[in-house]
Amino acid sequence: MPDNYSTDYTSPFAKIINLQKKKRYWLHISLFIFTFITTTIAGVEWTIGTLGPYTFETLLRGLPYSFAILFILTCHEFGHYFAAKYHNVDATLPYYIPFPPIVGFINFGTMGAVIKTVSPVKTKKAMFDIGIAGPIAGFIASVFILIYGFQNVPGEAYILSIHPDYFSPEYGASGLKLVFGDTILFSFFKYLFADNAAFFPPMSEIYHYPFLCVGWFGLLITAMNMMPVGQLDGGHIAYTMFGDKNHFKIAVIAFVFLFIFGISGFVDSVLELNLNIGWSGWLFWSLILYFVIRLKHPPIADDEPLDTKRVTLGYISFFILLLSFSPNPIIISAIG
């Protein structure tokens, strides 16, 4: 074997590998830029209700929302990424998923972000660490954004700049009403930080406040990812903590739970009962879990149980799910 064989980076094979890596880097960068654009536009739409055309000044109003939501997504995905690197599992950089604005469709400018593990995860400890690192990092980021949002709520002049008739009796007398559902953690922060003597927006106006809106959305994403089903983050955690058979039982229970909430929300919406029990989005998510993600977790050939620290952290992560979950996160009702 020639001495220079292992260092011949000019070979056709090496050039192909380097070209593929460069293309992949450009794909990550391009998706991030596109997602930055779509989240900025979404931030303008959520914050001030402008649907275009967009000026430079209005786009600036969308930046706080865009920065905040990209911060949460980045923390979540790099939590997975660094945990994978720690266990010598080859993983890609995050693929950000942009979502362009569609008239009449509620969206947050993105459908999240994902990383892909290229090499197999061989141990339960590695699977647990990779699975839990993302939602823990994303949850902490969401908490920071929420605390900042609660401590920096603008005064009445802000909502009046968006809705000049906000305090008039005629405001909201007809049309559709969009309300963000409360969570245990959001309610606790409201109790802890909101000044009772000052104006604080109701849940029907939270989306105009970018940091409160993004922090709330971060909790929703955390709850969706932490469901103990299949290859969701919560599924990885439950599988490594409780084993194959018990994990599947837990996954079935979680699926039925979501399906019931989804059906309740769908019936409530179609029949216009305004009971606000459940959310049709949970029905959509439960069907994705059943048909796409699947309820059962792929087996790992490792019988070594998790240590006490990891098990404790696992239970804390499911407590985070409880704090972040809302049975009816988005309520749209007719008024008037």
The full set of domain ranges for the chain reads 13-335
The answer to whether residues 81 and 130 touch, using CB atoms and an 8 Å cutoff, is: no
Average pLDDT (138-154) is: 97
**pLDDT given for residue 251 in this prediction:** 98
- 3-class state of residue 260 by DSSP: helix
- Average per-residue pLDDT in the chain? 90
Average pLDDT over residues 62-90: 97
C-alpha–C-alpha distance, residues 23 and 33, integer Å: 15
Residue 4: predicted pLDDT: 37
H/E run at residue 158? helix 156-162
Task: Identify whether the C-beta of residue 283 lies closer than 8 Å to the C-beta of residue 265.
Answer: yes
Res 8: pLDDT: 38
Asked if residue 16 has pLDDT above 50, the reply is no
Model pLDDT, residue 24: 83
Say yes or no to pLDDT of 99 above 90: yes
Name the H helices within 63-123: 63-86
Task: Give the residue with greater pLDDT, 24 vs 162.
Answer: 162
The end-to-end CA distance of the chain, in Å, is: 83
Amino acid identity, position 28: H
pLDDT, position 335: 64
Mean pLDDT, range 148-170, rounded to an integer: 93
* pLDDT greater than 50 at residue 14: no
Indicate the DSSP class of residue 331. E
What contacts 282, CB < 8 A, 6 or more positions away? 258, 259, 261, 262, 265
Residue 145 has pLDDT above 60, yes or no: yes
pLDDT mean over 25-47: 95
What does pTM read for this prediction?
0.91
Predicted pLDDT of residue 334: 67
